[in-house]
């Protein structure tokens, strides 16, 4: 459901990135590996429509992002793409429940408190529904970040370095969580990271190499 | 501040209009016409002197005069003026009684509502008036006034006055000192009667030292003389028709010992003088508004710097640029609107405080707190300023580079 073709981006003539073509089926997962500075975040932003590429195309669920106007792009993203950021960020003045309600509103989905409770329950956060996110513990915040990404049942879930700051045990837990949520919501998961520990968890991986030479390799 | 100014102006104009309704001309002793108007109509400032009752009555009979209301004042009780007049005076202001009646006999008074409130006098109470209009005047202790009635509040000058008949004022002054009542305003220490008061009630041959060397012989004689010499302080005149305006003032000024002053004319002059002060204050107020507009702008701008990440986050979740723009503008407008409301409330409170401080001041009616039309413009201007103050931060939000912002987190 996700396809990229000849993506490239240029911050300035000294910072150019070219990316390998990606292909992801519905319900499949993808791990994109790369060292720091290789353009992982840039790729993620290109895929999610937060950045427009210098050249190339991105197709999500059959729609080419380049055909969408800015406003349509915003709406499309709100409805179809969920992003789990590296460090959890929330709307400071709203409670957890209100944050999720806000996301529903922005994604042009109907207000659905039942769904909100369902999502939080699945992550063990139902009791925190009226708490302000910045008051949660770090682990709770991380799970809350996942909740924000999945509440609108997007078809694509992107996670940026979700495990980099975690120890081995918690790393496994978070990945399990992500995969489980993705399955539950019938979505595809793309994780972008430099964390080698994740290699064993995914069947499909793409490694980004410096000097723009991608090597797609498949395990077993 | 502007709202306060507008309110003050409105109140002032109302008070003036209200109090001078039905009075076309005031005659009194020669002197400053403005002083005459202020003292006779508004009971502010001291009178210019006295006039002969006979001359005033002659004027009253003039065919161009519809009515004339005599006023005799100069005494006070606890800073409230005692005004001797006829029943036409309360009628002029459509006064209603809340308790008791109008005065009937000499030395009976009817109190204005504010007087009753502040002094606590009730029907049947007696009190002594004192000379002059400020504290410390010579007290007329031999003759007491008695309260016959109390007026209902009227938002006119009468609320601050103690009304009585003309006879009361003459009676009081007859007995202690048939001196020209204008000299009552002198310091009581120099008044010869202070020493002689105790002897007043004794023999008729008592000699007092009078400024005009009248002798206080038998009461009847004295009274008879006084009738011819009786004086009042001023008379309020209404013209029968516009010809009065053309002929009467000149006639009075040139052919009699009295002067005629026209309230409308004098007050317009006064207002135009005040206009300068009000304009100045308005300019200050506008500057304040601009400064506060700038501060709204700065606070929005700064708060947005901190909230940029959140803004980008909202975009990520699907908010469009224009949605964010709308949000910021709404913030600006909301701040302005709330500010406007706070300003309105403060100005009402400020006004209330000011009117309390002015003792002979405005009887402020809370129903008057209604909006002046100009305050509607004030609202629009406030919203405008809020809108523009919000515009620049809003545009910045509009142009957020999502990728950079999110990556920099």
- Separation CA B226–CA B170 (nearest Å): 9
Q: Which residue has the higher pLDDT, B408 or A213?
A: B408
Please give the pLDDT value at position B132.
72
Please give the pLDDT value at position B228.
59
Q: Summarize pLDDT for B202-244 with one digit per residue, the tens.
A: 333 333 333 333 434 334 444 444 555 778 888 888 888 888 7
Please give the pLDDT value at position A210.
64
Please give the pLDDT value at position B126.
83
Going from the C-alpha of B155 to that of each of B4, B17, B113, B152, the distances in angstroms are 20, 11, 10, 10
Q: B403 vs A85: CB contact, 8 Å cut-off?
A: no
Distance from CA of A52 to the nearest CA of B (A): 10
Q: Looking at the complex, does the CB of residue B313 fall below 8 Å from at least one CB of chain A?
A: yes
**A77 contacts in chain B (CB < 8 Å):** 316-318
Please give the pLDDT value at position B202.
38
* Closest in B317, B322, B407 to A78, CB measured: B317
- Separation CA A71–CA B229 (nearest Å): 95
* Nearest CA-CA partner of B162 in B243, B71, B275: B71
Q: Summarize pLDDT for A66-92 with one digit per residue, the tens.
A: 888 888 888 888 888 888 887 788 888
Evaluate whether residue A216 is within a structural domain.
Answer: no
Q: Looking at the complex, does the CB of residue B314 fall below 8 Å from at least one CB of chain A?
A: yes
- Separation CA B347–CA B37 (nearest Å): 30
Domain of residue A137 covers: 2-209
ipTM over 0.85: no
**Residue in this structure with the two tokens 């179809």, named with its chain if needed:** A80
Q: Looking at the complex, does the CB of residue B219 fall below 8 Å from at least one CB of chain A?
A: no
Residue A92, domain CATH: 3.40.50.300
| Torsion B97-B101-B105-B108 (CA) sign | negative
- Separation CA B184–CA B173 (nearest Å): 10
Distance from CA of A103 to the nearest CA of B (A): 6
**Main-chain dihedrals φ then ψ at residue A143, nearest 5 degrees:** -65, -35
Distance from CA of B309 to the nearest CA of A (A): 9
- Separation CA B236–CA B93 (nearest Å): 13
- Separation CA B302–CA B305 (nearest Å): 5
Q: Say how many C-beta atoms besides its own lie within 10 A of residue B135's C-beta.
A: 9
Full DSSP string of B98-126: EEE----STTEEEE-HHHHHHH---TT-E
pTM for the full predicted model: 0.57
- Separation CA B303–CA B307 (nearest Å): 6
Return the minimum-mean-pLDDT range out of A163-167, A178-182, B343-347. A163-167
> Along the 409 residues of chain B, how does pLDDT read in single tens digits?
677 777 777 777 777 777 777 788 888 888 888 888 888 888 877 887 888 888 888 888 888 888 888 888 878 887 788 888 888 888 888 888 888 888 788 788 888 888 888 888 888 888 887 777 666 667 766 778 888 888 888 777 888 888 888 888 777 776 554 444 444 444 333 334 333 343 443 333 333 333 333 434 334 444 444 555 778 888 888 888 888 788 888 888 888 888 888 888 888 888 787 778 878 887 888 888 788 778 877 877 787 777 777 888 888 887 788 888 888 888 878 888 888 888 888 877 877 777 666 654 444 444 455 566 677 777 787 777 777 777 777 777 777 777 776 765 4
**A48 contacts in chain B (CB < 8 Å):** 316
**B320 contacts in chain A (CB < 8 Å):** 70-71, 74-75
Q: Which of B308, B316, B321 to mutate to test the interface with A (most CBs of A within 10 A)?
A: B316
Evaluate whether residue A150 is within a structural domain.
Answer: yes
Full DSSP string of B275-321: HHHHHHHHHHHHHHHHHHHHHHHHHHHHHHHHHHHHHHHHHHTT--H
- Separation CA A40–CA B365 (nearest Å): 71
Q: With 50 as the cut, is the pLDDT of residue A51 above it?
A: yes
Q: A50 vs B403: CB contact, 8 Å cut-off?
A: yes
Q: With 70 as the cut, is the pLDDT of residue A164 above it?
A: yes
Domain count, chain A: 1
CB B137 within 8 A of CB B79: no
Please give the pLDDT value at position A123.
78
- Reported residue count of chain B is 409
Q: A45 vs B322: CB contact, 8 Å cut-off?
A: no
Q: Which residue has the higher pLDDT, B306 or A24?
A: A24
Please give the pLDDT value at position B182.
43
Distance from CA of A71 to the nearest CA of B (A): 5
Evaluate whether residue A144 is within a structural domain.
Answer: yes
**A71 contacts in chain B (CB < 8 Å):** 320-322
Evaluate whether residue A215 is within a structural domain.
Answer: no
Which residues of A fall below an 8 Å CB-CB distance to B?
Answer: 41-42, 45, 48, 50-51, 70-71, 74-75, 77-79, 83, 85-87, 89-92, 102-103, 106-108, 148
Please give the pLDDT value at position B196.
39
Q: Which of A72, A106, A158 to mutate to test the interface with B (most CBs of B within 10 A)?
A: A106
Burial (CB count <10 Å: 0-12, 13-18, 19+), residue B361: middle
Residues 6+ positions from B243 with CB-CB distance below 8 Å: B64
Once rounded to an integer, what is the mean pLDDT over residues A50-57?
A: 82
**A41 contacts in chain B (CB < 8 Å):** 403, 407
- Separation CA B234–CA B83 (nearest Å): 11
- Separation CA B23–CA B46 (nearest Å): 19
Mean pLDDT of chain A: 80
**A10 contacts in chain B (CB < 8 Å):** none
* Nearest CA-CA partner of B363 in B164, B112, B122, B162: B112
Evaluate whether residue A127 is within a structural domain.
Answer: yes
Q: How many percent of chain A have pLDDT more than 70?
A: 95
**Residue in this structure with the two tokens 């940029």, named with its chain if needed:** B308
Please give the pLDDT value at position B192.
40
Residues 6+ positions from B61 with CB-CB distance below 8 Å: none
Q: Tell me the two tokens of residue B81.
A: 């003026």
| Torsion B153-B158-B161-B164 (CA) sign | negative
**DSSP alpha helices (H): ranges in B101-242?**
113-119, 166-176, 193-196, 219-229
Please give the pLDDT value at position B214.
40
Q: Summarize pLDDT for A101-115 with one digit per residue, the tens.
A: 888 888 877 888 888
Q: A89 vs B402: CB contact, 8 Å cut-off?
A: no
């Amino acid at each position: 459901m996700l396809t990229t073709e000849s993506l490239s981006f240029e911050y300035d003539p000294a910072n150019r990135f070219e990316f390998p073509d990606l292909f992801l089926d519905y319900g499949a997962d993808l791990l994109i590996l790369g060292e720091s500075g290789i353009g992982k975040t840039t790729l993620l932003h290109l895929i999610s429509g937060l950045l427009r590429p210098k050249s190339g195309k991105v197709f999500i669920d059959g729609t080419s992002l380049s055909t969408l106007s800015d406003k349509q792009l915003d709406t499309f993203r709100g409805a179809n793409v969920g992003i789990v950021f590296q460090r959890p960020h929330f709307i400071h003045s709203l409670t957890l429940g209100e944050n999720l309600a806000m996301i529903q509103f922005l994604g042009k989905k109907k207000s659905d408190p039942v769904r909100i409770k369902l999502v939080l329950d699945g992550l063990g956060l139902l009791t925190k529904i009226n708490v302000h996110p910045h008051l949660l513990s770090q682990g709770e915040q991380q799970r809350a970040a996942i909740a924000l990404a999945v509440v609108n049942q997007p078809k694509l879930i992107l996670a940026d370095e979700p495990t980099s700051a975690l120890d081995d045990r918690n790393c496994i837990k978070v990945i399990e969580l992500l995969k489980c949520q993705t399955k539950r919501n019938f979505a595809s998961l793309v994780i972008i990271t430099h964390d080698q520990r994740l290699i064993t968890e995914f069947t499909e991986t793409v490694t980004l190499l410096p000097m723009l030479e991608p090597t797609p390799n498949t395990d077993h | 501040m502007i709202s306060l100014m507008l309110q003050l102006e409105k109140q002032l104009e109302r008070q003036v209009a209200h109090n001078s309704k039905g009075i076309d001309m005031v005659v009194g002793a020669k002197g400053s016409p403005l002083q005459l108007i202020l003292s006779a109509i508004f009971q502010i400032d001291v009178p210019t002197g006295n006039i002969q009752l006979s001359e005033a009555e002659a004027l009253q009979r003039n065919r161009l005069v519809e009515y004339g209301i005599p006023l005799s004042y100069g005494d006070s009780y606890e800073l409230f003026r005692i005004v001797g007049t006829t029943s036409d005076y309360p009628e002029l202001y459509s006064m209603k009684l809340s308790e008791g009646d109008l005065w009937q006999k000499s030395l009976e008074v009817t109190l204005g509502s504010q007087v009753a409130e502040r002094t606590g006098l009730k029907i049947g109470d007696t009190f002594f008036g004192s000379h002059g209009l400020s504290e410390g005047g010579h007290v007329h202790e031999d003759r007491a006034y008695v309260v016959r009635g109390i007026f209902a509040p009227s938002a006119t000058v009468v609320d601050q006055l103690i009304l009585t008949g003309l006879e009361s004022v003459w009676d009081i002054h007859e007995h202690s000192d048939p001196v020209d009542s204008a000299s009552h305003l002198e310091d009581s220490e120099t008044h010869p009667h202070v020493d002689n008061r105790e002897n007043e009630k004794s023999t008729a041959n008592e000699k007092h030292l009078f400024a005009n060397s009248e002798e206080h012989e038998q009461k009847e004689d004295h009274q008879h003389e006084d009738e011819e010499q009786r004086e009042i302080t001023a008379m309020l005149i209404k013209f029968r028709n516009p010809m009065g305006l053309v002929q009467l003032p000149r006639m009075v000024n040139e052919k009699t010992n009295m002067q005629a002053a026209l309230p409308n004319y004098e007050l317009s002059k006064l207002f135009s003088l005040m206009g300068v002060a009000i304009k100045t204050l308005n300019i200050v107020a506008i500057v304040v508004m601009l400064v506060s507009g700038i501060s709204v702008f700065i606070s929005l701008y700064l708060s947005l710097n901190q909230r940029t990440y959140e803004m980008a986050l909202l975009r990520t979740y699907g908010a469009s640029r224009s949605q964010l723009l709308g949000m910021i503008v709404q913030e600006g407008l909301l701040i302005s609107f709330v500010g406007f409301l706070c300003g309105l409330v403060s100005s009402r409170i400020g006004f209330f405080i000011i009117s309390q401080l002015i003792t002979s001041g405005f009887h402020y009616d809370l129903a008057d707190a209604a909006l002046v039309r100009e305050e509607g413009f004030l609202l629009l201007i406030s919203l405008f300023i809020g809108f523009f103050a919000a515009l620049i931060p809003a545009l910045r939000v509009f142009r957020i580079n999502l990728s950079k912002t999110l990556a920099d987190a």
